[in-house]
Chains A and B, each alone.
Chain A
Amino acid sequence: MIKETMTPTERTWAAIKLEPCDRVPVAPLMDVMFPSRHKGMTVAEGIAHPRRGFQAIVDTFDDVGGWDAMIIPGYSLPVPPDIAAVMQVVIGDTRYPGKEPGFSDDSSPQFIEKELLTVDDYDEIIKLGWTGFAEKNLGRFFPLDPELLLAWTKRQMDRYKSEGELWKARNIPSLCGALVMSPLMFLSTRRSLVPFTQDLYRMPDKVQAVMDAMVDDCIKFAIEAARTTGIPGVELILERGGCFYYPLKIFERFEFRYIKKMVDAFAAEGFITVMHLDQDWTLNLPYFLDLPKKMCVCELDSTTDIFKAKEILKDHLCIMGDVPAALNSIGTPAEMTAYCEKLIDHIGKGKTGFILSTGCTIPVDTKFENFQAMVDSVKNHLPSN
């Protein structure tokens, strides 16, 4: 066991700010699903009972001997009390365990991607802006009284804050007080991948106009959430704009210019941005040198070349990741230890700028002994140089 000379908060922030750490910090992207199973509940129970679900996360933390940071506090969503903000965070068709035929109580929720927004909606968003569009079309997506929705946001926000405070009392920092998608990510998942891709090629000017009409609201809601929760960071959810999907000319025009605008705005508020980079972004990495130094974390999921990321970004941004999902679900503790030690040696080189994490969210069917090996790896192994 390595002798620790820093608190989890000091260690995590030192890594983000590219300052020396006593050891590599570890911060899994934790939600309620794996902890619910681990503590003997079904996933449906963990989701349906916020206090029990959150307690399962805390108990899992204790069972594994603790980790260094929460990327988000764990259960609730930081949604400001604004209909347009609600529409940006939760518009979609999600199937929940125990509530759908054929969906067991112990399965993961799954998002069904379909054409929720139409090409005609593009014209209306351009004309009315996102807030105007959302207010006009609320009933189409949520057949609920707006007052009920706003009451829901208050409950979510209150719980999010109290979850963050609980971690803070344990000296465990929460990194993100807001969640937001880039305009491309939002439109791609709400138009669905194939129609959105056709839009990009058939009507690029219109798509760009929609993004221009949306981005300021994306920034506004995220800043409002981070201010309200008191957690000085934003989780920027990205997947669809990277080089797995599109060439760099599309990335530059429809994704990076908005990422930069958002990250700059958050940095101006003193907030870091944790860029949740699902899928392969290897060719896009050099662009991130244009983002404000030490104000972002690149959260990789094992499909981006993390070694290339270190080579390119080592003096500029912190890297987080990238334990493959399969290693947690069907790997062995020995395989997990070997993988993590390799990351600690190479990405944790210089004892800074790296936070060991799961590649995307920890899988629902994680084997506890594998997760234990992941958390223990940073406590037992220092970078070789």
Chain B
Amino acid sequence: MSELANAIADLKEEEVKKIVQDKLASGADPLSIVDECRQGMEIVGQRYKDKEYFLGELIMSGEIFKEAMAAIEPKLKTGQSGKPLAKMVLGTAKGDIHNIGKDIVATLLKAAGFEIYDMGIDVAPEVFVDKVRETGAPILGISGLLTPSFESMKQTVQALEAAGLRNKVKVIIGGGVVTEVVRKYVGADAFTDDAPEGVELCKKLAGVAS
């Protein structure tokens, strides 16, 4: 594993900044730097699975990854951002304005290579449907922290059916109160209350799991 990947995995924020700057200054391929950063994030994910890391380390690694990407992106040529694993529309359900869990998942999904269309909070079913139609994204993620969000998640799935899009998009719901019972009630394809597990489920739903 490269020095950069290990620095990300070990949450060495300043070291990551320096290595990225040095690599860019020496003319290294920006895409290869992105790949090394992603390898570091994969180690973080494995340490989380092994219960060596917790949500705090995921947050830290996600923020370090974002800082690295902010430095690398200006050096990428137009259209050179690499092919995304898959597109995904993401947002918090109508009537719910909690954003922290959704934002953490969005960061981890981007780090894994997904192209995320983040619709924000309090997102109405028709807004989700329009974005899924416009982007052709094969995955829709809906987050919610409150029980009334179940109803708007369900309405979103029904709106996808009414628009003839349900068989083209997999729906995953997430948040502290979702369970298998809620998944069935909503009519979603998957649920999670765990951010890294959510990333793995999205890979499976998109058919890109390794």
Contacts and interface: CB of A to CB of B under 8 A. Distances in A.
B147 A363 contact: yes
Contacts of A303: 176, 193
B: interface residue count bin: 20 to 34
A250 interface: yes
A200 B122 CA distance: 30
A307 interface: no
Contact of B54 (A112, A246, A328): A246
Contacts, number: 81
A204 to B, nearest CB: 12
Contacts of A95: 97
Contacts of B205: none
A246 B100 contact: no
B98 interface: yes
Nearest to B151: A365
A365 B179 contact: no
B28 interface: no
A246 to B, nearest CB: 4
Interface stretch (A2-10, A136-144, A191-199): A191-199
Given A244-B55, A245-B56, A193 B179 contact: no
A326 B173 CA distance: 14
Interface stretch (A76-84, A102-110, A224-232, A288-296): A102-110
A153 interface: no
Interface string B150-176: 110000000000000000000000001
Interface string A285-322: 00000000000000000010000000000000000000
B96 interface: yes
B150 A326 contact: yes
B59 interface: yes
Nearest to B185: A330
A194 B182 contact: no
Interface in A319-338: 324-331, 335
A328 B98 CA distance: 21
Contacts of B56: 197, 200-201, 245-247, 250
Interface of A: 95, 102, 104, 107-108, 110, 112-113, 192-194, 197-198, 200-202, 243-247, 250, 279, 303, 324-331, 335, 363-365
